[in-house]
Amino acid sequence: MIDARRLRTLRAVADHRTVTAAAAALFLTPSAVSQQLAALENEVGHQLLVRDGRGIRLTAAGEILVRHSNAVMAQLERAEAELAAYGAGQAGDVTVASFATGIATVVAPAMASLAASAPGIRLRVRDAEGDASLMMVVDGHADLAVAVEYRGAPHEDDQRLARVPLYAEPFDAVLPRGHRLAGSSRVNVSDLAEEPWIGPYPGNPCHDVVVLACEFAGFQPRLAHSSDDFRAVAALAGAGAGVALVPRSALRGVDLPDVVVLPVAGVPATRRVFAAVRRGAAEHPLIRPVLDALRAAADRARPAALA
């Protein structure tokens, strides 16, 4: 019989592409990971991995086994959810990984509502960008992620994760107050093609949104300055360092005396935010109330801050 722990190890190597990275994600030593993989190959009678440059890739047999691993892991999550419901009560910790604005927009309001409706559920919040938070869930370091759609994000049919849409918000243009377009009611992204740009670092999901918006407008942005903190981005714009596209909720409540924030004409760049849990875990009696509270918080926030 195939050991489920070894399947989890194989999936971690498939996700992280090296034994060292998989070992760190699983809190194991690289030698322990290598031993588990060797034992799994002996169990199934096939080579599952081959070296690929400095990393590792799956063989055809490995791909088959990882697909089944995803189904096995999802079924185990469902079993845990049913056992918890049988045992239960709604009492325990739920770790939520979210980017900073998501914490302010939906996670903190959900925490406040859960304190009244399900006081036994304790949220543990971890600040993490979407590309990191999703892997925290896959690796078991978080129970739930609030993440942003981005180019490399797992697809909706990914067998490791189940997704729940929360909200979508447009990006607004942030211009120095003395900018030639500062008096406009709206800004075309194409009108900013020759400007220096300020934006998030590559790897931040919002970086992809900004670059794609500029590509759709027919140019590659000249990123002169980089920061993942949108208040810092606005401060740099106010100092005349360049222009930016910023999610609408990111600057809510921030004093911005030196910039003008304008909506984008046409189809604006949009940040699509969703919650993700390990597939099979959505009905866990601790996780389901958190998902419901997040959706309710998103519904409340949408007309006030996101539209």
Residue in this structure with the two tokens 């590659």, named with its chain if needed: 220
Residue in this structure with the two tokens 């998989």, named with its chain if needed: 22
Per-residue pLDDT at 278: 93
Please give, one letter per residue, the 3-state secondary structure of the chain.
CCCHHHHHHHHHHHHHCCHHHHHHHHCCCHHHHHHHHHHHHHHHCCCCEEEECCEEEECHHHHHHHHHHHHHHHHHHHHHHHHHHHHCCCCEEEEEEECHHHHHHHHHHHHHHHHHHCCCEEEEEEECCHHHHHHHHHCCCCCEEEEECCCCCCCCCCCCEEEEEEEEEEEEEEEECCCCCCCCCCECHHHHCCCEEEECCCCCHHHHHHHHHHHHCCCCCEEEEECCCHHHHHHHHHCCCCEEEEEHHHHCCCCCCCEEEECECCCCCEEEEEEEEECCCCCCCCHHHHHHHHHHHHHHHHHHHHC
Per-residue pLDDT at 133: 93
Closest CA to 98 of 86, 107, 111: 107
Per-residue pLDDT at 86: 55
Tell me whether strands 121-127 and 244-247 are parallel, antiparallel or unpaired: unpaired
Per-residue pLDDT at 79: 79
Sign, Cα dihedral of 181, 187, 191, 193: positive
pLDDT tens per residue, range 83-128: 775 565 667 889 999 998 899 999 999 999 999 998 888 899 999 9
Counting as low any pLDDT under 70, the low residues of the chain are 82, 85-90, 130, 303-307
d(CA 259, CA 189): 17
Cβ atoms 110, 290 nearer than 8 A? yes
Per-residue pLDDT at 85: 58
Per-residue pLDDT at 137: 94
Closest CA to 165 of 156, 152, 154: 156
pLDDT tens per residue, range 267-307: 778 888 999 999 988 888 899 999 999 999 999 887 555 55
Question: What distance, in Å, lies between the first and last C-alpha atoms of the chain?
Answer: 54
d(CA 272, CA 266): 17
Q: Structural domains in the chain?
A: 4-81 (1.10.10.10), 90-166+272-306 (3.40.190.10), 168-270 (3.40.190.10)
d(CA 250, CA 221): 21
Q: Which residues contact 242 (CB under 8 A, 6 or more apart)?
A: 195, 196, 197, 198, 224, 225, 236
Per-residue pLDDT at 91: 75
Cβ atoms 281, 161 nearer than 8 A? no
